[in-house]
Amino acid sequence: MKKKPKLTVIILTKNEEKNIAACMASVQWADEVVVFDAFSQDRTVEIARGSGATVLQHRFQNFAQQRNAALDAVDSDWVFFVDADERATPELAAEVRRAIQDESRSGWWVPRHNYIFGRVIRHAGWYPDYQLRLLRHSQARYDPRREVHEIVILDGEEGYLENPLIHYNYDTLAQFTERQDRYTDYEARILFDQGVRPRLHNFVLQPLRELRRRYVSLEGYKDGFHGLLLSLLMAYYNLVTYLRLRRLWRQ
């Protein structure tokens, strides 16, 4: 009889008491749930343990390093990374169970429905928003050079799932700007490490290209005011990235 592969859901956390209970409730179908916590100072750990999770704690350095540390800490055939502000539907759960039976695949891309400022965004680059999250444990690592918006180094073939994760991405504009502020620091440092020097035209043309890409090419206009706002915000943070890159070179 063919052995059933073991599936572990890994949830990275840092002060996620608002989200962790609902996230945990949506992944109870897994063989094991591990909350990999970066020493939260709220009730995240207490709630996670009360919901039946195995809680491991590890000092956060960057996202790629944290995911690799989580991979090293578990013993499972497959891992499914789910963020605390994401929810897995029963339909996705059933599809994941079928996918890990496929011996020809080492990883699966999962689409996401992103809820931003209270509504699901279908365009402007926010859907299908595929994430390589379902990984054969022995054949996946994260590129340590990518500290944010991590890249999986996969030894094998990939597949694509149909059912999305539900991602409650940004509730407020303040939350959006706080997170993008952190991301631009990471992205500027990555460009700096690659030897990229900002040119004068980058401060004008790059944001304009990003605005056109989001609003026109990726049809952000179909999401109405939300699509326009998000396209403008992403263009602005593209500019911020190059301003911070210039500051790094001057330092």
| Residue ranges of domains in the chain, CATH in brackets | 7-169 (3.90.550.10), 172-250 (no CATH)
Average pLDDT (230-239) is 97
91: pLDDT strictly greater than 70? yes
Q: Average model confidence (pLDDT) for the chain?
A: 96
Report pLDDT for 147.
76
CA–chain centroid gap for 206, Å, is: 24
User: What band does 250 get if pLDDT is binned at 50, 70 and 90?
Assistant: very high
What pLDDT score was predicted for residue 1?
A: 58
Q: How confident is the model at residue 145 (pLDDT cuts 50, 70, 90)?
A: confident
Phi and psi at residue 7, in whole multiples of 5°? -120, 125
pTM of the model: 0.90
Q: What is the pLDDT of residues 24-74, one digit of tens each?
A: 999 999 999 999 999 999 999 999 999 999 999 999 998 999 999 999 999
Residue 39 backbone phi and psi in degrees, to 5: 55, 60
Closest CA to 152 of 232, 235, 81: 81
